[in-house]
């Protein structure tokens, strides 16, 4: 049996537009973000994808993205599982700050280390390694068994929680995953075998 996993980063948020560190703060989608979510829903519908299970984070930009996708897919009255394990990386003291202001305060090199290193967290926040430490156990206990059973699963989440999943699924190194860009509203589709291993990545 082969399961299908669809990972979608939320559409552009109000704070993405303003170039702010967001993390666990809770802005909603911009008009462009809503359009991105709807276009992804249309693309999945065109491929004939009908998920069995739906997961998202505790943050409304991801929840709103999933709702708009389901609307376009004409899928109604389904159970959606929301869990903080799928939340974005917590940016701690950087949350709410303009990225240029953060560079002015701490220096460009330090901010780059916080943003692009694997295991160096910003003050009061999480590194990508920390994010993976909460996201992967949830994936392995709650989602992977369903994929092994042949289910189709749709997850709407965030750049860094999805990076943690992509790193595990594709067997990437910390250096490789830090170079992987995950665009807003863009789906990534995997076929996962009964042994839990990646069989193929599907182009949308």
DSSP annotation of 179 reads: T
Residues with catalytic annotation?
A: 10, 88
Helical segments of 19-158, H only: 31-46, 60-73, 99-106, 108-116, 128-138, 144-148
199's enclosing H/E stretch is strand 198-202
CB within 8 A of 161, min separation 6: which ones? 57, 85, 86, 87, 88, 89, 131, 135
Which residues on neighbouring strands pair with residue 7, listed in sequence order? 155, 188
């Amino acid at each position: 049996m082969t399961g299908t996993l669809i990972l979608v980063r939320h559409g552009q948020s109000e704070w993405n537009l303003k170039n702010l560190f967001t993390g666990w703060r809770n802005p909603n989608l911009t008009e462009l973000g809503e359009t991105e979510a709807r276009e992804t829903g249309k693309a999945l519908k065109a491929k004939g994808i009908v998920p069995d299970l739906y997961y998202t984070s505790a943050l409304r930009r991801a929840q709103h993205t999933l709702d708009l996708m389901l609307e376009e897919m004409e899928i109604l009255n389904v159970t959606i599982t929301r869990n903080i394990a799928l939340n974005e990386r917590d940016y701690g003291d950087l949350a709410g700050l303009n990225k240029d202001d953060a560079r002015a305060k701490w220096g460009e090199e330090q901010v780059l280390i916080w943003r692009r290193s694997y295991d160096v967290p910003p003050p009061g926040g999480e590194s990508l390694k920390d994010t993976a430490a909460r996201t992967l156990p949830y994936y392995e206990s709650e989602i992977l068994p369903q994929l092994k059973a042949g289910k189709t699963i749709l997850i709407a989440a965030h750049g860094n929680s999805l990076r943690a999943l992509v790193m595990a699924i594709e067997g990437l190194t910390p250096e490789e995953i830090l170079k992987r860009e995950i665009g807003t509203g863009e789906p990534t589709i995997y076929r996962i075998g009964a042994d839990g291993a990646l069989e193929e990545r599907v182009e949308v």
